[in-house]
Each structure stands twice: as C-alpha cells, then as structure tokens.
Amino acid sequence: MKLYLRYLAIHFKSQMQYKTSFFLTLIGQFLTAFSTFLGIWVMFTRFNTVKGFTYTEVSLCYAVVLMAFSLAETFFRGFDTFPRMIGNGEFDRILVRPRSPVFQVLGSKIDFTRLGRLLHAAVIFAWAIPRSGVNWNAANIATLCGMILAGSLVFAGLFLLYAGICFFTLDGLEVMNIFTDGSREFGRYPLSVYGDAVLRFLTFVVPIALFLYYPFLTLLGKSDSLLWRICPLFALLFLVPCYLVWRVGLLHYRSTGS
C-alpha cells in the first residue's frame, strides 16, 4: 500500500510538470461529461419521465456510473494503455521486478486528469441527492457507496480483460470500448429503458446492471428486495474470469516473449 502511494506521488509529480496541460485536460474532461448531462436535461424538458423515471432519478443513475467509471479510469488506467506497454517492451521491465505484475501495471499509469469527470459526477450527486426523493437512511447510503465501488471494480475488470486479450493480439482492441465506454453511455439511463434483451446481457455477461440497475430500484423504493440491494456484491464475481484471462495471457506472453 505504501508503495502504491509512492506510485501515486510520482504520477502526481509527473503530471504537475505540465501544469497547463493538466488543468486544460481536467477542464476538458469536466466539460465533455457536462455536455452529456445537458443532453439528458434537454430530453427531459420535452418528456417529463422516461419509462417511469424522473429527471432527478436519471441524474442519480448517471452520476453513479460516471463516478464509478472515472474512479476506474483514474486508478486502473494502466490496463487501458496496456498494448503500448507491451509494444515498447515496458512490460519486460515489470517482469524483472519482484512485485506482482498486476500491481505494477496499476502503478504504471495513474491519470489525475480523469478527476475532472469525478468532479462532474460529484456535482451531479450534490444536485440530485437531495432532490431524488430517496430516503437517505444508513442502508441506502451504504447501497449507494456499494454501487459506486462495485461499479469501478467492474470497469477495472473490463480493463483487466482487455489487457489480458492484448497479450494475444499485441494490439488494442477497439471492440472492447463497446463494453467500457459503451457501458458508461448506456448507464446514463436506468437500464430497463433499453428493453429486456439488453438488460439481460448487462446482467449476466457484463454485469453493469448488477451494480447500477437493481440496487438503484431499491434506492428509489421501486423494489424492496434484499437480493437486489446486495447485487453489487455479485457483480464482483465478474473479476474472476477477467483475472483468469489475464493469467492465461501472461503465461502466453512469457512463452512467446513477443
């Protein structure tokens, strides 16, 4: 953990070397995310509800996915830029150091500019939490935190999966962005909006719904199922296959060495 803080510090120092670039990117990230939010707002000025969800409810849902995604992007970005790492041989350096490769890849890139999105998510939370009509008791607060945490870990799992596949392709796979960026975009609305097939896919294949949709319903009081409330925990199972793919990829890499 201490070492991770060291990594954090060195990335912070690195990024502070380019102050202007850092702040411009930060602002850019904030504005990009904000424009998406405007899109939702414009829609709701025309239609008051979408599939029974109000504007504030949708904002809350959007804030959760945005927060989870930007946390993942800030801290797990090493896996996102992984093909470059393999390409330029940096990964060999990781293998000659006596620490776990996953940990070192995590430490290899920590992108603080993504905090712009985080800030944006925080703003929406601040706006939506008091207006959403949710009764903010301890259980609901815990559920919300669980949703965000599980969410960022699911995104981290997606990044890990992507990196694991890169061991074989030695190149980035744009198709994976369907799941990472795609999930983030999908998550703007409660997932039932997209119909049953999509919802099922996002429950059992890429478990976005497990941390975003089902517990969200319990938050809003649309369901009082305890199972749905603890759904974020099941989402964590997604990390298991992702890690396995990574392991297999690592073995493959070490036997081909390319």
Partner 1 sequence: MIELSHLHKTFRVARRNAGMGEAVRALFRREYTEIHALDDISFRIGDGEMVGYIGPNGAGKSSTIKVMSGILTPDSGSCVIDGCVPWRDRRAHVANIGVVFGQRSQLWWDVPVIDSFDLIRDIYRVEAHQYRADLDELCDLLELGEILRTPTRQLSLGQRMRCEIAASLIHRPRILFLDEPTIGLDAVSKLAVRDFIRRINRERGTTVILTTHDMQDIEALTERIILIGRGKILLDGALDALKAKHSALRRIAVCFAPGTTSPAARPLPQGIALLSADEGRAEFGVDTALHSVSSAIECLTRDIDVRDLSVTGQSTDELVISLYEEFRI
* Contact residues for partner 1, defined by CB under 8 A: 2-3, 6-7, 10, 13-15, 17-18, 88-90, 92-93, 95-99, 104, 251, 254-258
Rounded-to-10 torsion of CA 11, 17, 20, 25: -20
Q: How far is the CB of 112 from partner 1 (least distance, A)?
A: 13
Our CB check for partner 1 shows the closer of 93 and 200 to be: 93
Q: How far is the CB of 258 from partner 1 (least distance, A)?
A: 8
Task: Please give the helix or strand (H or E) that residue 55 lies within, else none.
Answer: helix 55-75
Q: How far is the CB of 98 from partner 1 (least distance, A)?
A: 4
Our CB check for partner 1 shows the closer of 18 and 23 to be: 18
Q: How far is the CB of 85 from partner 1 (least distance, A)?
A: 11
DSSP codes joined into one string, 106-145:
HHH---GGGHHHHHHHHHHHHHHHHHS-----HHHHHHHH
For residues 79 and 100, give the distance between their C-alpha atoms in angstroms, rounded to a whole number.
14
β strands within the chain, DSSP E:
49-50, 53-54
For residues 233 and 196, give the distance between their C-alpha atoms in angstroms, rounded to a whole number.
22
Pairing of strands 53-54, 49-50: antiparallel
Our CB check for partner 1 shows the closer of 21 and 135 to be: 21
Our CB check for partner 1 shows the closer of 22 and 243 to be: 22
Q: How far is the CB of 86 from partner 1 (least distance, A)?
A: 12
Our CB check for partner 1 shows the closer of 145 and 173 to be: 173
Length of the chain: 258
Q: How far is the CB of 10 from partner 1 (least distance, A)?
A: 6
Our CB check for partner 1 shows the closer of 51 and 99 to be: 99
Instruction: Name the nearest CA neighbour of 192 among 165, 170, 167, 222.
Output: 222
